[in-house]
Each structure stands twice: as structure tokens, then as C-alpha cells.
Amino acid sequence: MTSTKAAAIAHDLRERVALGEFADTGAMDSEAQLRSRYGVSRPTVRRALETLRDEGLVESRHGAGWFVTGSAFHQRLALGTFRHAGSAVAEAGKSLRRRVVEFGFRPAPLSLAVALGVDEGSDLLHARSVRTVDGEGLDVVREWVPSALAGAVSRDAATTPGIWETLQRQGHRITTVRQTVTAGLASDTDADLLGVAEGDPLLLVRRVAVADGAPVALSDHRYLAARFALEVEFNSGPATAGSETPGLRSVDAATPSPKERTA
């Protein structure tokens, strides 16, 4: 059981490293913080960290804690437009539905507090939902909103029209979306919600919505890799002196399942 818990913690930490949660200083949560976060013993946390150390992702520095030594490369793109999965699904003539399975307030861990510009431990509205396309799983979504903005977001609103759209209807016009993309595997919770096998490949997409220069929401999407793809179209923008960077446009594309592909 301990080894299973350690493997699950190592998997979660591996994803957090890939998503850039420790990018600023490379410093990871302390072992005490990890014990509290995952509700396990010190040996279990140490075993998980040693697994990542053996993979060359982290190192222990005497008296300072654990630090990331190897992570995913993050290339920042100047994206001109942003589209969400709902629009791509609708264009494919399909119907997307959302089912909220968790909804309530939780204290902000350090990584989310930094991303959302709030104090560590302050309340964040948290929602976990599963989205399906014509009855088949598409992704599991976890969303966080600072409590100061969460008053207008009910569980029903989180279901339809969704948290981001609800915030926009309340006057928080989202002008920028910061997006991080990496790969992952389905956890037991993902597998249960999506109706797939644990360990199936996922596309992990973290999005931070910015309105009036400040973050207003963060969402983590765990898409089934066989059903979803992100496409980036490179266009030759207007020439500017000393610049060879083309204009960019980001497009989310919901790909058909194998069943749909052969239909």
C-alpha cells in the first residue's frame, strides 16, 4: 500500500513539475507540506521524491529541501486568438455536456496562490467536473477562482454556462489566456470519471484566465489524448523591423474517437 501511495505521489509531482509549478525558484514543497497535502507518512513522501531523483527530475540540497533539476521546456507563444473545446465540439456537430462532481471552497496551496495572485491558504472556489461529447468522455476539469470573485458562481452556473462564462457575464472580460500543455496518464479518479483504463494517455492543459491585468480563474484540463488535440496555426504577420516572428493563432480541436473516425 505504501509503495502504491508513493507511486501516486510521484506521478502527481511529475505532472506538477511538467506544468511548471516550481519554475520560479525550482524549490518544491517541503516534506512536511507534502505529508500534509497527501495525508501520508514521511517515508512515503521520501520514497516518492527519491523516485523522481532517480529519474533525474529533482535533487535534495542539504538544509534547503528538494529542487527541480529537470523539467519540460516551455516555449512562450504570442497567441492571437483563443478558442475553447466547446466551440470545436459544436463545429464538429457534436454535443458537449458537463457534470460537476465536486464544488466548494478549499485553502489555496502555494502554487495556485502564486498563479492566481492570492495569499497562500486563502479560500479558493474549487470545482471538479467531467465533460462528455455525445456520451463519451472528453476531459476531467478542475477549476479554481479567488473567493473575492466567486460569489456569482453557483454549482448550477458551473455546470451551465460554466465558470469562465459566468465570470465574463459578471463583467470580468477575459482578455488573455496563459496556457501550458504537457502529457500525463489517467489516475484512478480520471479513469473512473472518463470510463477508461488507469494509465491511459492524457493531454494536460493548464489555463489561467486574465481580466483587467489580473488572474481571475485557473483550470486544469485532463483530456483523453485519443480524443483531443491542440493545433497552432502559424501565419505570416505584418513585417516589423528586426523581427522574423510570424503571427500565431491557437486552435483547440476536438478529435473524433476511433469509433467516430471510422463511422
85-262, which class in CATH? Answer: alpha beta
Beta pairing class for 247-254 and 201-211: unpaired
Cell of 50: 527519491
Backbone conformation region of residue 118, classed left if phi is above 0, alpha if psi is from -120 to 50, else beta: beta
CB 180 within 8 A of CB 20: yes
Task: Return the pLDDT at 99.
Answer: 97
User: Looking at the chain, how many residues does it have?
Assistant: 263
CA 261 centroid distance within chain: 27
Second CATH level (architecture) for the domain 2-68: Orthogonal Bundle (1.10)
CB 231 within 8 A of CB 205: no
In the chain, where does the domain assigned CATH 3.40.1410.10 lie?
Answer: 85-262
Max Cα distance, the chain (Å): 61
In the chain, where does the domain assigned CATH 1.10.10.10 lie?
Answer: 2-68
Task: Return the pLDDT at 263.
Answer: 29
Cell of 234: 502559424
CB 120 within 8 A of CB 113: yes
Task: Return the pLDDT at 250.
Answer: 44
Task: Return the pLDDT at 44.
Answer: 96
CB 195 within 8 A of CB 140: no
Task: Return the pLDDT at 258.
Answer: 40
Q: What is the pLDDT of residues 126-142, one digit of tens each?
A: 999 999 988 889 999 99
List, in sequence order, the alpha helices (H) in the chain. 2-18, 31-38, 42-54, 85-91, 110-116, 155-159, 163-169, 188-194, 258-262
172 closest CA partner among 207, 216, 114: 216
* Residues of the chain scoring pLDDT < 50: 243-251, 253, 255-263
Q: What is the pLDDT of residues 16-61, one digit of tens each?
A: 887 888 877 889 999 999 999 999 999 999 999 999 998 888 999 9
